Amino acid sequence: MGVEQGTPEAVFHELMDLLWRGDTAGWAGLVAEDAVMEFPFAPPGAVRRLDGREAVLAYMAGVPELFEFGAKPETVVHQTTDPGRAVIEMGLSARVRATGAPYEQRYVVVLEVAQGRVTSYRDYWDPLVAQAAGVGA
């Protein structure tokens, strides 16, 4: 039995597939025009909130140039009682392209989806791990 298309789990897996291929325009195509992307644990001076698809695309455009991704991340999806919202745990292993430094990060994403598009993407991660790898703020 597969994942039902348009669900938060299916959209998240598609987002990751696109990101691994470096297709940030495709990634942004899965984001609603008025979506919000938030980083509640971002350190002072770093981006904490993005409003709208264009802001998300501008932010995401540099991610494939920043990281050399290894295997796709391990994920655990927790579907909430709201069919449009899921909580996703993800472990990411990558290398920072500029330095070759390893990047091992754990994320918790609260993802909200409507009509197959992301309306809210709240990304919880450890800023100390990012700063130690040279990708903070």
Average pLDDT of the chain, as a whole number: 92
Q: Give the pTM.
A: 0.91
Query: Which tokens is 122 given?
Result: 């709240």
- Which residue bears the tokens 């754990």? 106
pLDDT tens track for 30-85: 999 999 999 999 998 899 999 999 999 999 998 999 999 988 888 999 999 999 99
Which residue range(s) make up the domain with 86?
Answer: 8-132
Residue 2 within any structural domain of the chain? no
pLDDT at residue 115 in the model: 95
Residue 106 within any structural domain of the chain? yes
Residue 30 within any structural domain of the chain? yes
Residue 53 within any structural domain of the chain? yes
Residue 1 within any structural domain of the chain? no
Query: Which tokens is 82 given?
Result: 């709201």
